[in-house]
């Protein structure tokens, strides 16, 4: 499988999530004929407003696995995109999770988050265990052969090193002969493997690639000094640096035009249309920017939503 992030955060149990609908209103009755007459235009205005809202509502997809529900396979271990609330080990939170919840509300659908191991995400979608996969996955050609996707967040890969960059890693060539940890099974692994081949083709030592199934294990290697660097997604590295202030630096960024995407079943145009419309509406009204800011992410990266 091609990774997120490779990954950008494990994984395998199903988690039922939260669906909420709120309505509010009040009415005052009066015996006065004049009061009753004056209330008539108000009632008409309310009816017109309701009709207008219904007309502008975004139609929900019709090809969902379960009518009225948008099920989502998520690898809940990739902070700040998706992780369990430290105060409630059963509650998924993060940018992806809360954006998904906003989209389901916009579409008038119920939520269902299915916690799924990273390597099993796209297979789960293909097998019909979920309608979408929204969990910091890159849009790439390998995945697009078996699923469709809409972009929602621009991102890039970076090389993280101990503070002060003691090994002087400033470019890809500087990784030759160094030990680097990654999360295996994704785009990062493809790219670092290609970089290692360039090393050996040029007569230098290969990169000692240490691949791990979980992001936490990947980071642990630099914490204990087993690797010289970590090759990861910028959103994940920024979160790790926030939690470990002053201990790690970004040596350099990998050039590229990477985007996170929401994957859905091949040919299910109704799902893609609904997701695109909901994302744009939530971008335009500031909802997604607010969620991004909450998790220390740059709202400018939402520019890929058109």
Q: How many domains does the chain have?
A: 2
- pLDDT at residue 36 greater than cutoff 50: no
pLDDT value of position 43: 42
Regarding predicted confidence, which is higher, 277 or 254? 277
Cross-strand pairs, 82: 78
Residue of 254, 231, 242, 219 whose CA lies nearest to 296: 242
Residues 284, 140 within the same domain: yes
What is the C-alpha radius of gyration for the chain, rounded to an integer number of angstroms? 23
Residues 104, 234 within the same domain: no
Structure confidence by residue, pLDDT tens digits, 260-291: 999 999 999 999 999 999 999 999 999 999 99
Residues 164, 203 within the same domain: yes
Residues 176, 240 within the same domain: yes
On the 0-12 / 13-18 / 19+ scale of CB atoms within 10 A, 119 is: middle
Residues 171, 225 within the same domain: yes
pTM of model > 0.75 = no
Angle at 89 between CA 88 and CA 93, to 5 degrees: 75
Quick one: pLDDT band at residue 4, thresholds 50, 70, 90?
low
CB 4 within 8 A of CB 189: no
The sign one gets for the Cα dihedral 36, 52, 102, 304 is negative
What is the C-alpha separation between 224 and 222, in angstroms, rounded? 5
State both tokens at 121. 């995400």
Regarding predicted confidence, which is higher, 51 or 279? 279
What is the C-alpha separation between 44 and 50, in angstroms, rounded? 10
Residues 161, 249 within the same domain: yes
pLDDT value of position 5: 52
Residues 287, 241 within the same domain: no
The DSSP code for 193 is: H
pLDDT value of position 257: 83
Please give the residue range of the domain that contains residue 161. Answer: 157-253
What is the C-alpha separation between 277 and 58, in angstroms, rounded? 7
Residues 66, 183 within the same domain: no
Structure confidence by residue, pLDDT tens digits, 229-240: 999 988 899 889
Q: 18: which residues sit within 8 A by CB, 6+ positions away?
A: 101, 111
Structure confidence by residue, pLDDT tens digits, 83-141: 999 999 999 999 999 999 999 999 999 999 999 998 899 999 999 999 999 999 989 89
Residues 150, 264 within the same domain: yes
Angle between helices 269-284 and 95-107 (to 10 degrees): 110
- CATH code of residue 121: 3.40.190.10
């Amino acid at each position: 499988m091609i990774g997120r992030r490779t990954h950008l955060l494990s994984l395998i149990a199903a988690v039922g999530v939260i669906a909420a609908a709120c309505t509010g209103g009040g009415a005052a009755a009066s015996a006065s004929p004049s009061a009753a007459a004056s209330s008539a235009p108000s009632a008409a205005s309310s009816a017109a407003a309701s009709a207008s809202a219904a007309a502008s509502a975004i139609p929900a997809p019709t090809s969902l696995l379960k009518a009225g529900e948008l099920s989502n396979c998520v690898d809940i271990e990739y902070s700040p995109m998706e992780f369990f609330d430290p105060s409630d080990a059963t509650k998924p939170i993060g940018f992806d999770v809360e954006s998904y919840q906003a989209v389901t509300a916009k579409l008038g659908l119920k939520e269902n988050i299915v916690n799924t191991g990273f390597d099993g995400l796209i297979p789960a979608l293909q097998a019909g265990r979920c309608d979408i996969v929204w969990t910091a996955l890159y849009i790439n050609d390998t995945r697009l052969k078996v699923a469709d996707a809409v972009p929602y967040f621009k991102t890039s890969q970076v090389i993280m090193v101990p503070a002060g960059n003691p090994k002087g890693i400033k470019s890809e060539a500087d990784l030759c002969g160094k030990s680097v940890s990654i999360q295996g099974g994704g785009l990062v692994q493809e790219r670092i493997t290609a970089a290692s081949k360039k090393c050996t083709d040029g007569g230098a030592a290969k990169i000692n690639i240490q691949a791990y199934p979980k992001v936490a294990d990947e980071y642990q290697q630099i914490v204990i000094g087993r690797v010289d660097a970590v090759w990861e997604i910028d959103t994940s590295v920024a979160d790790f640096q926030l939690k470990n202030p002053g201990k790690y630096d970004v040596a350099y960024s990998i050039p590229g035009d990477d985007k996170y995407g929401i994957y859905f079943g091949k040919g299910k145009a109704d799902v893609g249309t609904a997701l695109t419309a909901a994302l744009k509406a939530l971008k335009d009204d500031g909802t997604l920017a607010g969620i991004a800011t909450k998790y220390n992410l740059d709202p400018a990266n939402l520019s890929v939503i058109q």
